[in-house]
């Protein structure tokens, strides 16, 4: 078997068998196949796509490239994954919320890259908090606290980490089969029996179109269920930022507000849907609506906030900051930007906001860049809201006046105002479950 023959086979649109995909994955992991050959194969996949069977086989090969966690000692364990967005602090709410309702959550997360944020970066807004945990520490915290969010172990699906770095450098990130294999190899290796996937759709998402997102969601669910896991996907809107805060410490504060029962409507809706499905799939409630009701009740009471404090303390952060998030370090410059004309907000471009946040220092232009947890935006008006001249539109949190100037200008350009209120658009767009999967 030779890599060049498999590249040619895929380039001409033929289907590879599992043994051929395993040869490519393990050969690249062992440095027997060079970067330029695997890059050529990845580009051929981008152009020609993959069948379901190929996608399943690629995921399986990447899964078998490393260790797998055994979480059976903890009962039914849940996990969730987001495909990436702007203002997406959902994990900071959902993980402690589900754990507080009796289902342990073991989540391995990533860092932000490009215009999308990363859960680990948000957690590190708590000074001293550790996200790089050993396998023993990860399992110990899961047993003691029932909730853990940590960085991906290098021993789980190591082929994915190596292949992803090559995809990032060769413009092959946005291939749906490659995305599925990357996500599900890691999620299956992490060991949770229940996995709920938040597939973002719109300007600020990697999947801009609904049809793309639905195809991705179906494949993710099919792969997970074929592997014997209880998996569902929720499609959520990412045309504008989720919630009102964008930026690591600012999003932590908003997550705390949400756990206190004071969260913005769109963030609460997404958290309720994801947490409800995790609890229901785990068998904690007899039906999905009962799970949703329990989630709403706990959010209204604010009783899950203590679970977040436990998790922060277990990972070396100061739990007092959960109860007093206003003590998190602030940005040196804080500026309120007001409307210059009246109108309804007709557009708040999530991608443009995310890119402006990166330039402020809240995210990374490339892997390894340092970030500033203090900076970002808080929005007072979003799509559908009326604003009068002189009323606040948003707030900039920046390191310098010059950076605040540039950020304010960029976000003003991302906001559209008009005389007619735009039609309401739900934040939860649809679901993919075992019941609505396409046959075949």
CA angle 20, 47, 27 (to 5 degrees): 25
Which residues are designated catalytic? 81, 160, 167, 182, 186
How many angstroms separate the CA atoms of 147 and 311, rounded? 6
Beta bridge partners of 398: 333
How many angstroms separate the CA atoms of 210 and 218, rounded? 12
How many angstroms separate the CA atoms of 43 and 47, rounded? 6
How many angstroms separate the CA atoms of 172 and 98, rounded? 35
């Amino acid at each position: 078997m030779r890599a060049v023959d498999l590249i040619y086979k895929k380039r001409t649109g033929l289907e590879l068998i599992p043994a051929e995909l395993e040869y490519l994955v393990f050969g690249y992991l062992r440095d027997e196949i060079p970067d330029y050959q695997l890059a050529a194969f990845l580009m051929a996949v981008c152009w020609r796509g993959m069948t379901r069977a190929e996608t399943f086989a690629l995921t399986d090969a990447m899964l078998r490239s490393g260790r797998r966690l055994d979480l059976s000692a903890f009962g039914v364990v849940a996990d969730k994954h987001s495909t990436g967005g702007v203002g997406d602090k959902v994990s900071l709410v959902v993980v402690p919320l589900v754990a507080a309702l009796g289902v342990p959550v073991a989540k391995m997360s990533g860092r932000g890259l490009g215009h999308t944020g990363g859960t680990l970066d948000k957690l590190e807004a708590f000074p001293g908090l550790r996200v790089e945990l050993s396998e023993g520490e990860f399992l110990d915290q899961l047993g003691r606290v029932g909730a853990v969010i940590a960085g991906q172990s290098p021993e789980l699906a190591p082929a994915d980490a190596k292949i992803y770095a090559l995809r990032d450098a060769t413009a092959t990130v946005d291939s749906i089969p490659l995305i599925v294999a990357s996500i599900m190899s890691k999620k299956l290796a992490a060991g949770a029996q229940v996995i709920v996937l938040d597939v973002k759709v719109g300007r600020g998402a990697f999947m801009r179109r609904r049809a793309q997102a639905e195809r991705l969601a179906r494949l993710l669910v099919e792969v997970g269920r074929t592997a014997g896991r209880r998996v569902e996907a929720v499609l959520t809107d990412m045309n504008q930022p989720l919630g009102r805060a964008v930026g690591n410490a600012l999003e932590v504060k908003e997550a705390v507000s949400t756990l206190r029962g004071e969260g913005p409507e769109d963030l609460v809706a997404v958290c309720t849907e994801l947490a409800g499905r995790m609890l229901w799939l785990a068998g904690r409630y007899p039906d999905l609506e009962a799970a949703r009701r329990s989630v709403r009740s706990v959010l209204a009471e604010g009783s899950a906030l203590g679970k977040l404090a436990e998790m922060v303390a277990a990972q070396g952060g100061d739990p007092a900051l959960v109860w007093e998030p206003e003590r998190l370090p602030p940005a040196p410059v804080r500026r309120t930007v007001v409307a210059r004309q009246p109108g309804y907000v007709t557009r708040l471009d999530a991608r443009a906001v995310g890119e402006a946040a990166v330039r402020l220092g809240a995210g990374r232009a490339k892997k390894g860049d340092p970030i500033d947890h203090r900076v970002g935006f808080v929005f007072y008006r979003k799509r559908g809201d009326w604003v009068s001249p002189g009323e606040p539109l948003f707030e900039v949190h920046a390191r310098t006046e010059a950076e605040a100037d540039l950020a304010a200008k960029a976000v003003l350009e991302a906001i559209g105002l008009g005389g007619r209120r735009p039609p309401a658009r739900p934040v939860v767009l649809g679901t993919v479950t075992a019941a609505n999967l396409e046959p075949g």
